[in-house]
Amino acid sequence: MRTSSGFCQTVSNSIRQHLSRFSVATIVAVVGLFGLARLAAAEVVYKSADITIKYGTYNLDLNGDGVTDFTITSEISGSCTPHSIESGALSETPASGNGTMIGPLAKGDEIGPNQAFSGGTLDLVYFFTTWLPEMCKFTWSGTWYSYHKATTGYLGLSFQLNGETYYGWAQLTVKGITATLTGYAYETIPGKAITAGKKKGN
């Protein structure tokens, strides 16, 4: 015959097991809700622009926190010598810890952890012009250069915020060493890829 103390012990064990299962289910449900809330908060933040960069510098603050994330520079230089030389470049430099896919990327190209980024200054377009007594020589190069017409495409961007990596893009129209920034965007979930040209969506 089971004693009352044994019965109480069995009931106590049963209650503990029930509470344990309830606690696990509650934790799973809460974690799931936090996950859903995080996904619901995820979004692409986009900003349109109309900024021409010619013989100067533009500091791009991708997420609007007051910190320069990328610097786009258009510059030209020359030398007064018997053989006059002129050179110029349109370049992009990420802030420390940030990176760039030079492109030009096409709309829909993925920008994320599976892609390679450069942390140094990249020349989008550069040229050398040499005037000699008997000739004039022009040399243009760079992945964004297109002879006598503008190139429109995207820079793939990665930037650091609070120790985490975020991804975004900037759209440029480039002609010679002049660039027009027409818009930029980033994904608000760290580590989540974005596609070039994507302006909205969770």
pLDDT tens-digit profile of 102-150?
A: 899 999 999 999 999 999 999 999 988 876 666 667 788 999 998 778 9
**Sequence-ordered list of residues with C-beta below 8 angstroms from that of 47, at least 6 positions apart, any chain:** 64, 183, 184, 185
| pLDDT beyond 80 at 19 | no
Give the separation between CA 1 and CA 155, rounded to whole angstroms.
80
Asked whether residue 18 carries a pLDDT value surpassing 50, the answer given is: no
Question: Residue 163 is part of which domain span?
Answer: 44-195
Average the pLDDT over 183-189 and give the result: 98
Shared domain check, 83 and 2: no
Let me know if residue 202 belongs to a domain: no
| 3-class secondary-structure state, position 34 | helix
Q: Is the pLDDT of residue 157 over 90?
A: yes
Is 112 found in the same domain as 26? no
Number of domains the chain is built from? 2
Residues 87 and 159 in one domain: yes
Q: Is 64 exposed, middle or buried (0-12, 13-18, 19+ CB in 10 A)?
A: exposed
Same-domain status, 34 and 113: no
36 and 49, same domain (yes or no): no
Query: Would the pLDDT of 17 be above 80?
Result: no
Query: Does residue 17 lie in a domain region?
Result: yes
In this structure, are 75 and 124 located in the same domain? yes
Considering the domain architecture, whether residues 52 and 28 belong to the same structural domain is answered as no
Q: In what order do the strands lie in the sheet with 56-60?
A: 56-60, 70-79, 84-94, 122-132, 135-141
- Positive or negative, the CA dihedral 173, 175, 180, 186 is positive
- Same structural domain for residues 34 and 49? no
What is the average pLDDT across 72-90? Answer: 78
Asked if residue 58 belongs to a domain, the reply is: yes
Same domain, 28 and 93: no
Summarize the confidence of residues 155-168 as an average pLDDT: 97
> Does any domain span residue 54?
yes
